[in-house]
Amino acid sequence: MPALGPARAGRDPRPRGLRRFVAPPPPREERCELCAVPLAGERHRHLVDTEKRALACACGPCAQLLDGSGGAGGRFRAVPGRYLSDPGHGIDEQAWEHLRIPVGVAFFFRNSALDRLVALYPSPAGATESELDPASWQTVLAGSPLAGLLEPDVEALLLRRHEGTVECFLVPVDICYELVGRMRLRWQGFDGGAEARADLDAFFAHVRDRARDVRGSGS
């Protein structure tokens, strides 16, 4: 059996025999879900696939096309990029308790297919839906005008209970699922662990930096 080592000039470098089962698979090339153009690893926009209830990747031109047309009548809707904050909201710790969510973060968005608000929170298993009566959510969400500004399917109301206060933001829905993935990857033990908490702090610091105050932004 020949020794394993660098491929020699003129020989096929692809794994052969049993080696092909242990070699790492080639990275999957990301493509736009509309026009199939390669995205080449660049940071790109996302679409909501309203039929599959999933996020899809989009190149810049396709995302702009959906932005310009509104995208409301088709299968795909472009996720917008606005971030809004509401420092003067009326959601306090007592209101948060009504949600009965076992972690300190939750996000809400309106699902147009179901024609109702959906409440989710990060967990070690991924995005977990709250089974609380929607009427209870509405009581809490009435504390901020951000809930009334949400674009169905593509924007979410993001809440965080932390150190005796509740933060409230309107954000693109894709970053909520990004947060879910990050928490699932780093979660350790019962409370998530130090690494997950540090990542959560960094995530919300980024959101705060990007968000504009809804009460003074004219949005």
* pLDDT values of the chain reduced to their tens digit, one per residue, 219 residues: 333 334 444 455 555 555 544 555 556 678 888 888 888 766 788 889 888 888 888 888 888 887 655 555 677 888 999 999 999 998 888 888 888 888 899 999 998 888 888 889 988 888 888 877 777 777 778 889 999 999 999 999 999 998 889 999 999 999 999 999 888 888 776 666 788 888 899 999 999 999 999 877 656
DSSP 59: -
**What whole-number distance in Å separates Cα of residue 219 and Cα of residue 217?**
5
Token pair of 199 as six digits:
């990542």
Torsions phi, psi of 119, nearest 5? -115, 125
Token pair of 68 as six digits:
């310009």
100: left (phi over 0), alpha (psi -120 to 50) or beta: left
User: What single letter denotes the amino acid at residue 60?
Assistant: G
**What whole-number distance in Å separates Cα of residue 163 and Cα of residue 51?**
39
Rg over alpha carbons for the chain, rounded to the nearest Å, is: 21
**What whole-number distance in Å separates Cα of residue 80 and Cα of residue 140?**
25
**What whole-number distance in Å separates Cα of residue 210 and Cα of residue 83?**
6
Q: What is the pTM of this model?
A: 0.79
